[in-house]
Amino acid sequence: MYSQMSIGECPECGDELYVFRTKSRKKVVKCVNDDCPKQLAYGVPKSGKMEVTGLK
Ligand SMILES: [Zn+2]
């Protein structure tokens, strides 16, 4: 079970961004819009700085 939390709007499509916690304790932010042109996931390290990474 993953806890989900909306944290803001996707810079690409304006839909909601949700935070997912992975098994490796990483926080990943993902757009809820399946039609989002980029489907980016944002890794959120403990330092707080957001890093953009591509997910396949
Ligand atoms: Zn989006």
Distance 4 CA to ligand 1 centre (A): 16
Please state, in angstroms and as integers, the Cα–Cα distance from residue 41 to each residue in 3, 21, 24, following that order. 16, 12, 15
Write out pLDDT tens, residues 4-54: 678 888 888 999 888 877 788 877 788 888 888 766 565 655 555 555 666
Distance 50 CA to ligand 1 centre (A): 16
Per the model's pLDDT, the better-predicted residue between 45 and 1 turns out to be 45
Q: Are strands 40-44 and 51-54 parallel, antiparallel or unpaired?
A: antiparallel
DSSP type of residue 26: -
Distance 53 CA to ligand 1 centre (A): 14
pTM over 0.75: no
In the chain, where the domains are located: 5-54
Q: Cα separation of 48 and 2, whole Å?
A: 20
